[in-house]
Amino acid sequence: MIHLISSLVRKPGRRITGVAGAPAAAVGPDEAASRARGPRTASPGKVAAPGGTSGTVALSVHHLTKRFGARAAFEDVSFEVGYGEVFGFLGPNGAGKTTTVRTLGTLLAPSSGSATIAGIPLAPENGVEIRRRISIMPEAPGLYQRLTVAENLECFASLYEVPVPRERIELALRAVNLADRAGDPCGSLSKGLRQRVALARALLPDPQVLFLDEPTSGLDPVAARDVHELIDGLRQRGVTIFLTTHRLEEAERLCDRVAILNTTLRIIGRPGELRERLFAKTLTVKTLVPLPDPGRVFSGLPGVDGWRQDGASYVIAISDLATATPAVTRALVHAGADVLFIGESRHSLEDVYLQLIDQDAEAGEQ
C-alpha cells in the first residue's frame, strides 16, 4: 500500500503558479526531506518548509468565524497545521467541524477572520487555486449511483484536470483495494465500499492538504484499519491531513495533534499534552484487601499531594512520578500490603474530550 501511496503523492519540485495574493510556490528539496522524514511532529514549526513562501505551515487560521444569521457555526478559531502533519479535529455534533472544513475548502465564505491554505490566502478570488491544492472527502460519499466506480473517478479526474487520468484512477483504486470493482455501479456497493470510492476520489488530485470528514464512518473494523494504514502512508509521504472524527481512539492513534471544537476552539495540542494539561498526574494502587489505615501509608510521602480510596483501589495525586512511585511502593511494602498493581493512571483522549464537553455543558447550564 505504501508503494501505491508513494505513486499517488506528488513528486518533489512540481511548480505551482498563479495565485492572487501569494507569490508562486514550488515544492522543493526541503519539503522532500520533510516528507522522507515522516515521523510525527509536535507543532507545525518543526516540519521542514516546502519551497516558496508558504513556509512550514500548510494551514494557518486566524480568528476565523462563520455565522449563519445570528447563530455562530464556529467562532474565533485559530490554529496552524504543519506540512505532513495529521491534525485531528474533534467535537460533538453541531460543534462546527464540517462548517470549518467547508469554509477552509472555499465552499463557504467566512464571516470574519483570515486563513491561508496551502500557502494561499483564503479569499473568493483564490477559490479555484486553493481547491486545486486540496482535496475534501465529505462525510457522505456523494457518488453518482448510476455510474460505475471508474466513471465516477473519471469525472473527478477531469474536474481536477489530472494528467494521465487512467493511470491515476487505477492507482487510487488499488490504494483503497477496489481495483476489481472499477466496473461496478456505485449504487450496487455497500456503504463501506462507497466510502472507499470517495477516498479514492479524494486521492486523485495529489492534494497538498487532504480534508477527511469522518473517513471511517460506516466502515467495518478491517476496512477502517485499511483506511488508517492509508492515512499513515500519506503522512509518511508528507501529505497534510485534516481529520474530523468522532472516533477518539482513531484520533489518538493517527493524529500528531488534535483540536477540540465546540463552536469555539476549546483546546489544541498533542494528545499526551492535553492529558497532562487537563488531568493531575496520579498513581493507581490496587491491593488484595483494603488497607487498614491508608492515611498512615500515603500521608507525608515525597511527591505525593493527596489520595482517595475506591474499595481496595487508591488514586494518589502526585507531583513527580520518579519520586512518588518508589516512595509509595516502599510505604506499601513497609505496611505489609498485598499489592496487585501500581502504575501511572492513564487518561485517554476520550477522557480529555468528555471532560471538556462536560465543562461546556455545565457552563451552559449555569
Partner 1 sequence: MKLSATRARAIARKELREYRHNRQLVVTMSVFPLVFIITPAVQIFTQPASAAGPLAHTQVLVYMLGIPALVPATFASISVAGERQQGTLEPVLTTPIRREEFLLGKALAALVPAISVSYGVFGVFVAAIELFAQPAVASAVLHGPELLAQVLFTPLVAALSIWIGIAISARSSDPRVAAQLSVLASLPSIVVTTLIATGKIHVTPGLALSLGAALLLLDALGWRIVSPAFDRERLITGTR
Widest CA span in the chain: 76
Question: How many residues does the structure list for the chain?
Answer: 366
Grid cell in block for residue 148: 460505475
- Residue 201 binds partner 1 (CB under 8 A): yes
Q: Which residues of 230-264 are buried (b: 16+ CB within 10 A; e: fewer)?
A: bbbbbbbbbbbbbbbbebbebbbebbbbbbbbbbe
Cβ closest to partner 1, residue 161 vs residue 365: 161
- Residue 158 binds partner 1 (CB under 8 A): yes
- Residue 215 binds partner 1 (CB under 8 A): no
How far is 107 from 232, CA to CA, in rounded Å? Answer: 27
The side-by-side arrangement of strands in the sheet containing 339-344 is 304-310, 313-318, 282-287, 339-344
- Residue 200 binds partner 1 (CB under 8 A): no
Find the part of the chain contacting partner 1 (CB under 8 A) among 133-141, 229-237, 246-254, 328-336.
133-141
Q: What is the CA radius of gyration of the chain?
A: 24
How many positions of this chain bind partner 1 (CB under 8 A)?
Answer: 34
- Residue 164 binds partner 1 (CB under 8 A): no
Q: Are 83 and 58 in contact (CB under 8 A)?
A: yes
- Residue 10 binds partner 1 (CB under 8 A): no
Q: For partner 1, which residue of 54, 135, 244, 263 counts as binding (CB under 8 A)?
A: 135
Residues 65-104 that bind partner 1 (CB under 8 A): 68-69, 99, 102
- Residue 105 binds partner 1 (CB under 8 A): yes
Cβ closest to partner 1, residue 161 vs residue 362: 161
- Residue 128 binds partner 1 (CB under 8 A): yes
How far is 220 from 15, CA to CA, in rounded Å? Answer: 39
Q: For partner 1, which residue of 20, 24, 36, 140 counts as binding (CB under 8 A)?
A: 140
How far is 105 from 102, CA to CA, in rounded Å? Answer: 5
How far is 266 from 360, CA to CA, in rounded Å? Answer: 9
- Residue 145 binds partner 1 (CB under 8 A): yes
Q: What is the nearest approach in angstroms of partner 1 to the Cβ of residue 66? A: 10
Give CB contacts under 8 A, 24+ apart, made by 304-310: 304/328, 305/280
**Binding footprint of partner 1 on the chain (CB under 8 A):** 68-69, 99, 102, 105, 107-109, 128-129, 131-132, 135-136, 138, 140-147, 151, 155-156, 158-161, 185, 198, 201, 205
